[in-house]
Structure 1
Amino acid sequence: MSALAKIPVTVVTGFLGSGKTTLIRHLMTNAGGRRLAVLVNEFGSEGVDGAILKSCADANCPEENIVELANGCICCTVADDFIPTIEQLLSRPVKPDHILIETSGLALPKPLLKAFDWPEIRSRITVDGVIALADAEAVAAGRFAPDPAAVEAQRAADQYLDHETPLSEVFEDQIYCADIVLLTKADLAGETGLAAARAAIAAEMPRTVPMLPVTDGAIDPRVILGLAAAAENDLAARPSHHDGDNEHEHDDFASVVVDLPEVRDIEAIVASVQRLAREQNILRAKGYLAVAGKPMRLLLQSVGERVRHQFDRPWGSEPRRSKLVVIGEQGDVDEHAIRAGLGI
């Protein structure tokens, strides 16, 4: 088969809360006649993003074409989960025209790209492009990009200090693999923040790639689909901190699923989540909440102290179960402390 006969796959990567699911929802509703399939992966045993995307299913991307892998990071479960899932998608009577893969916020894209060379699938699919999302406001504030001056100051103070944090390694590996970087939450960052984010990322990139501002995932699909990058054949240009003998470990991070009683005060739960981020260094929280007297479920998502929430759809026959998936660095995720911080 020629490369033109291969089904294109777009890998959407980016740190926790950078807007990957929002982008994919936009692509699903603006498919441009393509029949899509979506593979969504989340860190931890339970996912939320898959349910969000299934609520957007339509003729272009029916619910059976939205597959969730919620049993570990996709870059570490290639043989057990990714390859069989791709094979199942390709064996369906009506094959997708384009496959979107949303990686976990903690995943490294390069091991996933290497999987496209597996004999079972390499003649049938190709990596059309890797789209890395970066929270422009956070990057501008220096939270997910290294500060060379600060590193030098730390080295001067302690020559034995490990200057590369797990978070910065993940962030850098994601942008190193990118064909396009989307600077998300552009409305929050403003022009000054966008300029600072561009400069911080450009200083780390091994090659020049386009960087485009995006708000609420709204971008013309023609800009990011159809790149024909064949990224699986271009691995040398996409360096990783974990090239060579270094193994990618997820022991740096932990998650916990917290069941909650019915919520009576939305602002109180928002304040509790903000306090967890501030006092317990929680990176991310997301989930659905049952609110007293409301027939619709409340979708709550947070990145650090930034919390967003909205009613997304009626509970219907689904049990009114409130739960939050909480993610943080290993040692910061204490289930008892988190439950106490949420007032349960």
Structure 2
Amino acid sequence: MQKIPATVITGFLGAGKTTMIRNMLMNANGKKIALIINEFGDLGVDGDVLKGCGAEACTEDDIIELNNGCICCTVADDFIPTMEKLLARDVRPDHIIIETSGLALPQPLVAAFNWPGIKTAVTVDGVITVVDSAAVAAGRFADDHDALDAQRVEDQGLDHESPIEELFEDQLTAADLIVLNKADLLDAAGLQSVRDIVSNAISRKPRMIEARNGDLPASVLLGLGVGTEDHIELRKSHHELEHEGAPHDHDHDEFESFIVELGALDDANAFVEALKPVIDRHDILRLKGFAEVKGKPMRLVIQAVGSRIDTYFDRPWTANEKRGTRLVVIGLHDEMDDVAILRDIRALG
């Protein structure tokens, strides 16, 4: 029996993975696609957005959400049973797409495709790493290593693992294809700088392509035919290299998330403008969710990467749906003051 191809789509928080998948599903050229979505946090924003896109290639029954933590940490408990149930269906999908959490290491997930019962039925068509080009150009993933080393000399107890930079590099290391997304936000010189930064971040040199708003043909993203599970041992993450040969657990203690609940917004535009300085002040990495706007029958999607905020109405509220505003906030554990952030955002509503 021919193996089902699976595409792993990874990339840091807010890189544009969900938008790219949404575009892909709308142009799947007749393929029946099953989608596994993993999010960091308890609010399933990405899955809900994709369920509302109405793509014939992927119905709501074909969308599986895993919100119990990063998929790289829950392979045995969540991912393997999910794959087994998917493969046990009477009608199997033509292609499987897996959207990892923005904080996930792709390596453990890809390695899981070598498990008995999975390897004989599914192969990793390729790992696609989506990059927020504007965030790279702004220096979001580059730490000042000289400054960190100087602080470490002063205080040996300081922990300077540069979690954002390392995770960014790990997601690039796993890639078969790198998508430089949001290319429209930079000029030619800025894009070339991003290409150089990405290329210098890893020793491997996967192919890089540019995208605007995640808009790429499905034919470019699906059908890479790499069989990445056979090569993943050569693409080790920082975490794997640090603990090579020794038993270890991986977690994401450096990051945390929580949900902010508000009522209906009086003025969505005013709320978004007032939200920007709050995000900057607290260095929030990612904020996303849904909002009710007074007098509007449709649900407002709010997506923020740093203080860059996009909003759009995606669908009408359903009759039995609980309305209101729910936002998930993600940031670095040591730098997030949950109480202050909750206070400041609630003051805007």
- Cα separation, 1, equivalents of 2:260 and 2:54: 27
Contact 1:108–1:174 (CA<8 Å) still a contact in 2? yes
8 Å CA contact 2:26–2:56 kept in 1: the answer is no
Q: Aligned with 1:104: secondary structure?
A: coil
Alignment of 1:24-173 (within 5 A): 24-146=21-143, 150-152=144-146, 154-155=148-149, 158-159=152-153, 160=156, 164-173=161-170
Alpha-carbon shift at residue 275 of structure 1 (Å): 2.1
- Alpha carbons 1:145, 1:201 under 8 Å: kept: no
**1:110 Cα shift?**
0.3
Q: Tell me, yes or no, if the aligned pair for 1:65 and 1:89 is still in contact at 8 Å.
A: no
Residue 335 (structure 2) aligned to one of 305, 311, 332: 332
Aligned position for 1:260: 262
Q: Which runs of 5+ in 2 are unaligned?
A: none
Distance 1:175 1:52 in 2: 26
Equivalent residue in structure 2 for 1:312, among 311, 314, 335: 314
SS at match of 2:194: helix
Task: List alignment gaps of at least 5 residues for structure 1.
Answer: none
Structure 2 match to 1:22: 19
Question: 1:337: how far off?
Answer: 1.3
Superposition deviation, residue 247 in structure 1: 4.0
The alignment's C-alpha RMSD in Å is 1.6
Letter in structure 2 aligned against 1:127: V
Match of 1:275 in 2: 277
1:251-304 deviation line (CA, Å, top 9, x unaligned): 111100111111012133213431232111111110100001111111001000
The corresponding residue for 2:250 is 248
Equivalent runs, 1:272-311 vs 2, <5 Å: 272-311=274-313
How far 1:222 sits from its partner (Å)?
1.6
Cα 1:284–1:156 shift into 2, 3 Å: closer
Query: What is the CA deviation profile of residues 132-188 of structure 1, one whole-angstrom value per residue up to 9, with x for unaligned ones?
Result: 011111112221145xxx424653575456554111111110000000110010000
Query: Where do residues 183-202 of structure 1 align in structure 2 (5 Å cutoff)?
Result: 183-202=180-199
Distance 2:264 2:84 in 1: 41
Matched letter for residue 330 of structure 1: H
Counterpart residue identity of residue 232, structure 2: L
Determine the C-alpha separation between the residues in 2 that align with 1:40 and 1:62.
14
The CA deviation at 1:333 is 3.3
Find the residue that maps to 1:269 and give its secondary structure.
helix
Question: What amino acid is aligned across from residue 254 of structure 1 in structure 2?
Answer: E
| TM value normalised by structure 2 | 0.92
- 2:209 corresponds in structure 1 to 212
Instruction: State the aligned residue count.
Output: 338
Aligned-partner SS, 1:282: coil
Q: Deviations over 1:171-227 (max 9, x none)?
A: 110000000110010000221221011000111122111111101111122222111
Over residues 301-342 of structure 1, what are the superposed CA-to-partner deviations in whole Å (9 max), with x where a residue is unaligned?
Answer: 100011111111110212212100110110333332122111
**Aligned-partner SS, 2:25:** helix
Query: For residues 336 and 262 of structure 2, what CA distance do their matches in structure 1 show?
Result: 17
Q: Which amino acid aligns with 1:99?
A: I
1:11 and 2:8 are equivalent in the alignment: yes
